[in-house]
Amino acid sequence: MSEEGRARSPLGEGVYPKAHVLNRLIAKSLDLILVAAADRLVPPVGWLAGLAYVLIADGFAGGRSVGKRLIGMQTVIPGTRDVAGFKESIIRNLPLAVAYLLFPLPYVGWLLTLGIIGFETLLLIGNDRGLRLGDEIARTQVLDAGQLDPQD
């Protein structure tokens, strides 16, 4: 790929600054509200619809879940101009899907869910690029939408 085709940032080629943590938490909260609504409004299949949304949400157009679109963020593959697709979304959201699967179990499931979400949040806050475990596995990064070149 030519040098023009690579994403650039002030930190170097393919390296982007950390997106605002509060914005990421708000975007994820909005997505979880959608998941909870699906679970309650469509009882027989709502739980499965919620699980599907947790897994594929960041693969929608522009690498944006509904929450990310509303807040102005997107999921990208650093080093390229590519936005995350469904494959990257499923891989990066596996830890959250495990938490979603465990949550219905009384007490133990709740504690494990809190542990997974807490661990992911600590990684998000502590990492200099804002990468959580799912991002590390899928090799993705969440950015504020304006961080990519305008032609994206």
- In a domain, residue 135? The reply is yes
- In a domain, residue 5? The reply is no
| Distance, CA of 11 to chain centre | 22
- List the domain range (segments joined by +) for residue 124: 17-145
Q: How far apart are CA 63 and CA 106, in angstroms?
A: 34
For the chain, the domain total comes to: 1
Q: How far apart are CA 10 and CA 1, in angstroms?
A: 20
- In a domain, residue 83? The reply is yes
* Interval 76-97: pLDDT, tens: 998 887 999 999 999 999 999 9
Backbone angles phi, psi at 111, to 5 degrees: -65, -45
% of the chain with per-residue pLDDT over 70: 87
Q: Tell me which of 68 and 1 has the higher pLDDT.
A: 68
Q: Is 129 exposed, middle or buried (0-12, 13-18, 19+ CB in 10 A)?
A: middle
Q: What integer is the mean pLDDT of 108-116?
A: 94
SS3 (DSSP) at 121: helix
Q: How far apart are CA 53 and CA 34, in angstroms?
A: 9
